[in-house]
């Protein structure tokens, strides 16, 4: 059994109009974090691989730097942040009650300034028969100016100010009727330009 998973291809941070030359891509852990040993990056294919056998639960933020390779001009570069969230769904045990969980990973909410996006949370489940599950989103005072729940499972993002740019972390909690709960972190990435939404 293969104990690793390939996440996918990282897009180049530089604008397509700037890409008159070949680009090189580098990846490093953002802030004071060290690069997790279970994450590897292949710059020749731009693929990230996660070793599931040694992976740790949590949210990891990386800085990706793209640099043009040009023999005539000084090589410009651009960078972007990329986040990886790892969680573990509870195993099914007939004799043990378990907390509710999302049936698929929480994908990041990516939105541009002056853009409105309605984010639909994935489906959630509870292995215990008869449990009622509720979803709670903790929107801090600083984020309430552009984030709001419009239904039990839909979060609306509508940033309009430059101070709202960047990566934000929003706690999301699933709780069942027996008060068992599990918390996740929703990544909200506010970018300067509108993003293309694919349904």
Domain boundaries in the chain?
A: 4-86, 101-191
Please tell me the predicted confidence (pLDDT) of residue 186: 94
Structure tokens at 28: 């490093």
Please tell me the predicted confidence (pLDDT) of residue 1: 36
Please tell me the predicted confidence (pLDDT) of residue 74: 61
Please tell me the predicted confidence (pLDDT) of residue 195: 82
Structure tokens at 110: 């990516």
Cα of 182 vs its chain's centroid, Å: 18
Could you give the 3-state DSSP secondary structure of residue 165?
Answer: coil
Distance CA 156, CA 192 (A): 18
Please tell me the predicted confidence (pLDDT) of residue 36: 81
Q: Identify the sign of the CA torsion 196, 6, 183, 55.
A: negative
CATH class as words, domain 4-86 = mainly beta
Q: pTM of this prediction?
A: 0.54
Q: What is the biggest distance separating any 2 CA atoms in the chain, rounded to whole angstroms?
A: 69
Q: How does strand 154-157 pair with strand 124-125? A: unpaired
Please tell me the predicted confidence (pLDDT) of residue 4: 59
Cα of 41 vs its chain's centroid, Å: 17
Please tell me the predicted confidence (pLDDT) of residue 8: 56
Please tell me the predicted confidence (pLDDT) of residue 58: 78
pLDDT under 50 in the chain at which residues? 1, 16, 94-95
Please tell me the predicted confidence (pLDDT) of residue 146: 97
**What CATH architecture applies to the domain 101-191?**
Sandwich (2.60)
């Amino acid at each position: 059994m293969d104990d690793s998973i390939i996440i996918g291809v990282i897009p180049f941070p530089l604008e397509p109009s700037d890409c008159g030359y070949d680009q090189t891509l580098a990846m490093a852990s953002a802030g004071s974090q060290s690069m997790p040993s279970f994450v590897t990056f292949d710059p020749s294919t731009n693929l990230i691989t996660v070793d599931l056998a040694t992976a740790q639960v949590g949210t990891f933020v990386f800085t990706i730097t793209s640099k043009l390779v040009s023999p005539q001009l000084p090589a410009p570069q651009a960078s972007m942040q990329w986040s990886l969230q790892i969680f573990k769904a509870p195993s099914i045990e007939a004799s043990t009650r378990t907390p509710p969980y999302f049936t698929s990973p929480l994908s990041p909410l990516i939105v541009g300034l002056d853009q409105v996006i309605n984010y639909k949370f994935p489906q959630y489940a509870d292995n215990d028969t008869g449990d009622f599950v509720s979803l709670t989103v903790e929107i801090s005072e600083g984020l309430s100016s552009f984030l709001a729940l419009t239904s039990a499972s839909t979060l609306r993002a509508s940033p309009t100010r430059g101070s709202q740019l960047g990566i934000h972390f929003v706690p999301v909690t699933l709780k069942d009727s027996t008060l068992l709960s599990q918390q996740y972190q929703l990544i909200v990435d506010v970018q300067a330009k509108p993003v293309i939404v694919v349904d």
